Amino acid sequence: MANPNDPTLRSWIDIPPTSDFPIQNLPFGVFETLERGTRLGVAIGEYVLDLYAVAQFGLFEDLELGSKMPKVFRRRSLNQFIALGRPVWRAVRQRVSELLRHDSTALRSDEVMRACLLRQSEVEMLRPVKPGNYTDFYSSIEHATNVGTMFRDPNNALLPNWRHIPIGYHGRASSIVVSGTPIRRPNGQRKAPDADAPTFGPSQQLDFELEVAFVGGRATELGSSVPIQYAEDHIFGLVLFNDWSARDIQSWEYVPLGPFLGKSFGSSISPWVVTLDALEPFRTAGPVQEPEPLLYLRQLDAHNFDINLEVAIQPENAPQTVVSRSNFRHMYWRMAQQLTHQTSNGCNLQVGDLYASGTISGPTPDSLGSMLELAWKGTRPIPLADGSERTFLLDGDTVIMRGFAKKDGVRVGFGEVSGMILPAVQ
């Protein structure tokens, strides 16, 4: 059985070399058309492979749980497919890889191709999972240091617990939306540093946060925990994630209990979930963790991933400007550590839960993952291609995030996550 990550694999579908979706990727998503309704699909080049149509031709019947395949492929989320378990995810990805290889003929008749392949431009992509729960972490040491420098003590930027524990908070799952969904500027309380009392109105410091989120793949019982060596078995895959943030609302409300309305008005995710299996070739070592974590959080080997990330801002009717280029490998706290810590108190997990990394900032000025850092709390305006400047985001701005990993001539990408800012409701 051929390895679906083999860099020498080729598809009979013509795939541009710059595509995020070669045969070595095969991410899962949910699409909709008027004729077909809602179905699960796999991205391949510029196309979507309709998994329900493939199942109708009997091409999954010999797989374990194959009889259940047609039903799970006509859902509005990946949750039920994910719940079938890791052996099924792998078997389906393996079979899809076999069907799409250059020497396979099973899908290549006119009738089958018409039934199974659609152009991505012809479908509407939906939110890929229905998260019952959402956790946002704070796992970039560069980001945490920058924020601590701006708002606390430049000589003692990290709080005492930061190097010992993956810090996070439970966010709002209901306001997580798929790429392309507009985001309404939030209203809220904010207080200027020299003001005696707060005021209420539209946020004046709307920001993005460049993040990557992983999708939970297994449920656990209340009161149980996930040991660190098994944590990655509970991860289905990764998406790009924009955790929109209203900094002025956030800074006024976050003491004493942390993020609330400055975060919950919207978060955007990319429509394609890149499986952890597809990212296996891109493993890399992360930052050295000092002091060594407590025993339950210790990991050996490489558990970070070399994923290039970028953020662009596009004003309305104007060209876009890339304002940040970073990498997921910079994360201090790793996904497995985040998940294990999440369950260490007995918190139960559910399939489809989302776990965001927190803002991903690198060590250089052009690798910072938020406007708060790039414009350094509004003191260093960022120039855009149309001649304008930004310290925070304006109405009509669209923020676009992209990500891809590349090695041995193979590019495994995420597509993009984007959202336009609409004016606040007055």
Binding positions for Mg(2+) are 243, 263, 267
User: Among 102, 143, 330, 341, which one carries the catalytic annotation?
Assistant: 143
- For residue 169, the surrounding DSSP H or E stretch is strand 168-170
- Contacts (Cβ under 8 Å, ≥6 apart) of 359: 138, 140, 143, 209, 210, 211, 243, 369, 370, 373
The runs of H, that is alpha helices, within 101-192 are: 110-116, 141-151
- For residue 95, the surrounding DSSP H or E stretch is helix 86-100
Q: Which two tokens stand for residue 293?
A: 């974590």
Binding site for Ca(2+): which residues?
A: 136, 209, 211, 243
- Check if the beta carbon of residue 398 is closer than 8 Å to that of residue 407: no
- For residue 87, the surrounding DSSP H or E stretch is helix 86-100
User: Interior CA angle at 395 toward 390 and 400, to 5°?
Assistant: 70
Closest alpha carbon to 43 in 20, 61, 65, 11: 20
Closest alpha carbon to 298 in 334, 343, 247, 251: 334
Burial class (CB in 10 A: 0-12, 13-18, 19+), 35: exposed
Ranges assigned E (strand) in 64-167 = 117-119, 124-125, 134-137
Closest alpha carbon to 333 in 416, 218, 244, 214: 214
- Contacts (Cβ under 8 Å, ≥6 apart) of 148: 156, 157, 158, 159
- Contacts (Cβ under 8 Å, ≥6 apart) of 223: 346, 348
Annotation says 143 is catalytic: yes
Tell me the backbone φ, ψ of residue 156, rounded to 5 degrees.
-150, 60
Residue reference for tokens 């008749």: 109
Tell me the backbone φ, ψ of residue 130, rounded to 5 degrees.
-105, 95
The catalytic site residues sit at 143
